Amino acid sequence: MISRYTLPEMGALWSEQNKFQKWLDVEFAVCEVHAGMGTIPPEALEQIKSRAAFTVERINEIEKTTDHDVIAFTTALAENIGEAARFVHYGLTSSDVVDTANALLLRDACALLLAKIDALSKVLKRRAFEFKATPQIGRTHGVHAEPTAFGLTFALWYDEMGRNRERLERARERVAVGKISGAVGAFAHLDPIVEERVCARLGLKPAPVSTQIIQRDNYAEYLCTLAIVGASIEKFALQVRHWQRTEVREAEERFKTGQKGSSAMPHKRNPILSERLCGMARLLRGYAVAELESIALWHERDISHSSAERVVLPDASITLDYMLAKATSLLDHLVVYPERMLENLNLTRGLVFSGQLLLALTQAGVSREQAYEWVQRDAMKTWDEGGDFRTRVLEDADINQHLQREQIEHVFALNTYLRNVDAVFARVFGQ
């Protein structure tokens, strides 16, 4: 991932230095288990652990000759370890090291992402309660529908992020799996107890069965989960983009002092961060597709997954890490205009109360079909001829035969639509 979208902690996790360090952690764990079982002399283990060292530059230099990064890695270690290096990588194949190290990297990446989900959820909860009683027009098909509470939007997103957190926790468990089972996963040169003990040392579960690699449905689940979380963020950002439209202007991204919106038009304040988040969500879906296509490999393995995963595993993790951080900042500092929401709610001159009027008439004994016809008649006149819907209803002889004036006035009261917001909040937040 380009540096523009890479935050320091996640970027460091996926650095070449940390990748090779995780490879070394796996090699150390294997040597320690072998030493405990008597396969490696204790003095050899001491020499390995005290002398093993590498530099990314040296590994890359050796790989120019070997054209194999794991061999370049073990060669670089051997240059520093000396004679005891013959016990390093004992009985292993490359994927034993790479896939088990990937499990460590993905597990740590999940921890960072879960922390950022928690930070975003905290902001969503705060803003939900902040605007719990703020009326806003709800829209369906992009058209004004009925009044709602602005805070319900944030409650909805909070609930969704809770599901995303559960998904990511499941994905973390799925990817935290190691394998130390040899070239085709048949334990030809290692006792399965080695795998169990190595994984225990590393805080991983051993794969119940594997080929030369950990099966890629595990990684696909991780990347699909990241894509779902990214799609949620895209959904939030798309809504902000709607709110910021000039014709709507119910909320907008914070515009900092000195910020510029357009090189040509000085007046512009564009939803650039929201649009950026929507674009980056597309990347996550693409990464997920690449890993879905890595599930099917030839026989016990081929290497077609490797080139894709060198990109998609770090890039997807870094992308979502960035998106979560930016979405949190966006919504934390979102500028909200409740007065404008009220103006928009009244824009259709009362038409948005038609549903409540329909119900009031049916409660008064009018058939639903007849009530719908009367209410729609007055609504269409308001759409086509202008005027005020409430005034038309008060002058409608058919409706006034069945509803008293105070009943009609109750239909047009906002609190009728917001009376159960507290109950919804209790379900979402448990308060």
State the catalytic residues: 141, 262
Q: Residue holding tokens 């006034």?
A: 400
CA distance 221 to 261: 39
For the beta carbon of residue 300, count every other beta carbon within 10 angstroms.
13
CA distance 74 to 63: 11
Q: Residue holding tokens 């490797």?
A: 306
CA distance 389 to 144: 14
CA distance 78 to 63: 14
Question: Of 289, 271, 168, whose CA–CA distance to 220 is shortest?
Answer: 289
CA triplet 335, 135, 333: central angle to 5 degrees? 15
Question: Of 291, 289, 297, 287, whose CA–CA distance to 210 is shortest?
Answer: 297
Helix (H) or strand (E) holding 31: helix 16-37
Tokens of 11: 């970027």
Tokens of 10: 């996640």
Residue pair 139/247 in contact (Cβ under 8 Å)? The answer is no
Residue pair 396/376 in contact (Cβ under 8 Å)? The answer is no
CA distances, 338 to each of 145, 150, 215, 342, 349 (Å): 18, 9, 52, 6, 18
The amino acid occupying position 310 is: R
- DSSP code of residue 353: G
CA distance 206 to 195: 7
- β-strands 205-206, 177-178 pairing: parallel
Tokens of 385: 């001829």
CA distance 138 to 146: 5
